[in-house]
Every structure is written in structure tokens, then in C-alpha cells.
Amino acid sequence: MRQLTMILSMLALAGCVAMAKVEKGERAIGDRLAVKIEGAWNQLDGPELGPAQTWTMEGLPIDQLLLYSGVKDGDLVHASGGDGKRKDFAFKANMQADEIVGMFEGMLTRDGSSFKLTRLEPSSFGGLSGFHFEYTLIRKVDNVVLTGVGWGAVSKGELFAMLYMAPRLAFFARHAADVERIAMSAKIRQSAQ
């Protein structure tokens, strides 16, 4: 059944997911976050994606870069919530760093995948005091081991974050430095313009 679901889901996705090229340069993510990229990425858009902008270099499901801009108190950090079958994960404005990471962990393991935090440390993100974390994710659907990295900060009760994950062998190392440069380039505006 899982295979069938996957096939049907992939067919559905193939028809519904739009891909657009993200050119190098400074790119706005929502109203308050901007990042600078040195090479082109691909942005995906579809009903199963969001609220983060989903970018990929190699194509899904190989690697994905999730960019969250201004997630408000009570907002889910994943799409397809509210079916009651799987636990939903929402941001709360008073969350501390470990709780935000726990929220992302919950989001990434909704399908039964396994998450292991390997590092959580203070770090600036977007010019604000925030946090940086690293993790390993074993994807349930295909048993692939992914390495992941993330940054986050909360400004005026809104969450700004960036997560990147790719297969541990080859793909993560190929893009990790670019991803870190993107994170370091992030700027969070204090209010929407």
C-alpha cells in the first residue's frame, strides 16, 4: 500500500508541483527575510509544500532547503495539517530554541522518520541572536540517511528559520558550504515594508 500511495502521490505531485529557477543575487523570502545566493536554485511550489519556501539543488526528494519567514504564533510549520490523523506542529511565540528544534523534529518525523539532534548552539541568524542546529534524519519511506542543518531566530514573536537536508553520502557535503553562506547572508527586517 505504501508503494501504491507513493506512486499515486508522485503522480499527483508531478502534475501539481511547479518549479521555477531562483537566480543568483539577493532574494526576498516573504516580507521580512532576505538572503543572498551565489548560484541558481530551484524553487518548488505546490499544495503539499509550505508555509516555508522550498528550494532544491538536486531535486526532490534528494535535497531540500526550507526557508521560513515570519511564522506567527499558532501557525503550522508544515502543509497538510488538520487531518487529525497525524500530529500537527505549530510555532508558539514564547518557544525557546530547544522547543523550536523539537517542533521541527516533530514536523520531520510525522511520517515515521527518525531524527537525531547532533548539535544545538547559539548563533546569529539574519542579524539577530538565534541558534544553529545539526541533525541526522533517517527517512522512513526509503531508509535514506540524511544530514541536516538549521538556523533560526525569533523577532517580534515571529519565527525566521532555514533548514537544509540532503543524503549524508555525497549530496550534503556538495552543498553544505553554499547553504552556510546563504544562512550567513540572511537579513531580517524589523518590520514589514
Rule CB under 8 A: which residues touch other proteins? 1-4, 83-87, 89, 92, 94, 96-99, 102, 105-106, 109, 112, 114-115, 117-122, 131, 138, 140, 143, 145
Distance CA 60, CA 131 (A): 26
Distance CA 47, CA 166 (A): 22
What's the min distance (Å) between Cβ of 121 and other proteins?
Answer: 4
Sheet holding 41-45, edge to edge: 18-22, 41-45, 53-56, 64-71, 158-167, 145-155, 128-138, 114-125
With cell 506542529, the residue in question is 89
What's the min distance (Å) between Cβ of 44 and other proteins?
Answer: 26
Closer to other proteins at the Cβ: 38 or 98? 98
Closer to other proteins at the Cβ: 29 or 77? 77
Amino acid symbol at 174: R
β pairing state of 33-37 and 187-188 = antiparallel
Closer to other proteins at the Cβ: 1 or 192? 1
Phi then psi for 174, rounded to 5 degrees?
-60, -35
Closer to other proteins at the Cβ: 60 or 90? 90
What's the min distance (Å) between Cβ of 26 and other proteins?
Answer: 30
Q: C-alpha cell of 136?
A: 541526522
Distance CA 144, CA 133 (A): 20
Closer to other proteins at the Cβ: 34 or 141? 141
Amino acid symbol at 34: A
Closer to other proteins at the Cβ: 8 or 19? 8
What's the min distance (Å) between Cβ of 88 and other proteins?
Answer: 9
What dihedral do alpha carbons 173, 178, 138, 81 form, nearest 10°?
-170
What's the min distance (Å) between Cβ of 116 and other proteins?
Answer: 8
What's the min distance (Å) between Cβ of 134 and other proteins?
Answer: 8
